[in-house]
Amino acid sequence: MKNISLLSHRKEEPEQGILYLVGTPIGNLNDISPRAINILANVSLIACEDTRQTRKIMNKFNISNHLVSFNKENSLKKIPKLINDLKAGKSIALVSDAGMPGICDPGEKIVFHAKSKGYDVVCIPGACAAITALVSSGMPSSKFIFEGFLPKKKVDREKILFEISKNQKTTIVYESPHRLKKLLRELLDFCGGEREIFIARELTKKFEEHVSYKIDSAIEFFKEKEVIGEITIVIKGIHKKDNEEISESDLKKDLNELTNAGLSSSAASKYLAKKYGIKKGIIYNLN
Ligand code: SAM
């Protein structure tokens, strides 16, 4: 791996032997930069998740170029071949189905391999659903936590949900439309109904919708609705009071102190739940 690359951008793009990460639209095809179009039109080949998706962009901007499939299923097999292409002096554009390659797709693996073999990787930035939702949410957006898709395995999922419940920073989560209601119920269990969330549906598309509610009202809002389209969820962090740290161990300590002082576990959990804005059951279960 090279430690230093001086990428002056004085030369004409694309250059030989470079992997370009090209941000593409998350819906509205006009959200693509002239620089991205130039790279897509002139690289030796485009590695893309789904050739049908990438062709929509190419057709819109009259680009014709060689497409190679690079997705979750075939990425490990394809990486050595793509590295060989870089070695042969080819330039490669990597695109995902939508947004920034490397965010919740196999892009990060090829970036790792290309860099560890000493090839330069240059990003042509574009839209990202997480950032688009975050800045539209009205929640603190200068410091945030991005969780991507939550794990499916219960124990791993609950660990992240617990972390979200006590994050002081805004959290961003991706979710599929058919799992949104389940996730909202889980957020209710872990964060309580009062926590504010922002659900961005179909960002940049014709039927873009922003739903800003507390968790319990959001559940009510979607109750009778069939959820369709792409969804990004932004969850407000809990309010930090007087520099109080609220790690799991601190919560346990507080709980012990209160119960040792004679409060029942239930009353102590209720008190701490209110103090830190965390669901009572979560604190009770730390017992
Ligand atoms: N690479 C993409 C990016 O930069 O945002 C994300 C890819 S991830 C595989 C796909 C997920 O992103 C979707 O399931 C959805 O949660 C979110 N997403 C993508 N497009 C979106 C849109 N137009 N509106 C809301 N969320 C979107």
pTM above 0.75, yes or no: yes
Ligand 1 surroundings by CB, under 6 angstroms:
26-27, 96, 98-100, 103-105, 128-130, 174-176, 200, 202-205, 230-232
Which residue owns the Cα nearest ligand 1 atom 13?
A: 230
Q: Per residue in 85-95, pLDDT tens?
A: 999 999 999 99
Q: With H, G, I as helix, E, B as strand and everything else as coil, classify residue 2.
A: coil
Tell which atom from ligand 1 comes closest to the C-alpha of 202: 24
| 89 or 286, greater pLDDT | 89
Kindly state the tokens that stand for 19.
């992997």
Give the distance (Å) from ligand 1 centre to CA of residue 180: 14
Report the residue among 29, 111, 174, 203 best suited for mutation to probe ligand 1: largest number of ligand atoms under 8 A from its CB: 174
Give the distance (Å) from ligand 1 centre to CA of residue 219: 21
Tell which atom from ligand 1 comes closest to the C-alpha of 133: 25
Tell which atom from ligand 1 comes closest to the C-alpha of 102: 1
Report the residue among 175, 230, 233 best suited for mutation to probe ligand 1: largest number of ligand atoms under 8 A from its CB: 230
Contacts of 171 (CB under 8 A, 6+ apart): 144, 145, 146, 147, 164, 234, 235, 237
104 strand-pairing partners: none
Q: Per residue in 234-281, pLDDT tens?
A: 999 998 664 455 778 888 888 888 888 788 888 888 888 877 778 888
Which residue ranges form the domains of the chain, and what is each CATH number? Answer: 19-127 (3.40.1010.10), 130-241 (3.30.950.10), 248-284 (no CATH)
Q: Per residue in 192-235, pLDDT tens?
A: 999 999 999 999 999 999 999 999 999 999 999 999 999 999 99
Nearest-CA neighbor of 40 among 82, 95, 78? 95
Query: Which residue type does 113 have?
Result: H
Give the distance (Å) from ligand 1 centre to CA of residue 112: 22
Q: How far is CA 269 from the centre of its chain?
A: 32
Q: Per residue in 130-184, pLDDT tens?
A: 999 999 999 999 999 999 999 999 999 999 999 999 999 999 999 999 999 999 9
Tell which atom from ligand 1 comes closest to the C-alpha of 208: 24
* Lowest mean pLDDT, pick from 99-113, 125-139, 270-284: 270-284
Tokens 């603190």, residue located = 140
Give the distance (Å) from ligand 1 centre to CA of residue 234: 13
User: Do 39 and 15 contact (CB within 8 A), yes or no?
Assistant: no
Type and span of the H or E element at 231: strand 231-235
Give the distance (Å) from ligand 1 centre to CA of residue 105: 10
Instruction: Indicate the DSSP class of residue 177.
Output: G
CA pair distance 116, 75, nearest whole angstrom: 17
Give the distance (Å) from ligand 1 centre to CA of residue 12: 31
Tell which atom from ligand 1 comes closest to the C-alpha of 232: 26
Tell which atom from ligand 1 comes closest to the C-alpha of 205: 23
